[in-house]
Amino acid sequence: MDADQRELQNPFGMDADCQNCPALAECRERIVHGYGDVGGEFLVVGETPSAAAEENGVPFTGDAGGRRLQRLLGELGFSRSPPDADLPELQNVFLTYLTRCRHPERPATDEEVRSCEPFLNAEIRMINPQIILPVGQRALEALAVDYTTRAPESFDIETEHATTIRGRGFELIPMKRLPEQSDADTDSLRDHLTENVFTRDYRQTKGRRER
Give the number of other Cβ atoms within 10 Å of residue 51's Cβ: 12
**What is the third-level CATH fold of 35-197?**
Uracil-DNA Glycosylase, subunit E (3.40.470)
CA dihedral (182, 188, 143, 56) in degrees, to 10, reads 50
Full-prediction pTM beyond 0.75? yes
Residue pLDDT, tens place only, 28-57: 999 999 999 999 999 999 999 999 999 999
If DSSP codes are grouped into helix, strand and coil, which group holds residue 46? strand
The secondary structure of 78-91 as a DSSP string is SB-S-TT-SS--BS
Judge contact between 177 and 97, C-beta under 8 A. no
Angle at alpha carbon of residue 73, lines to 69 and 75, rounded to 5°: 115
Position 206 pLDDT exceeds 70: no
| b (16+ CB within 10 A) / e for 79-103 | beeebebeebebbbbbbbbbbbbbb
Residue pLDDT, tens place only, 133-156: 999 999 999 999 888 888 888 999
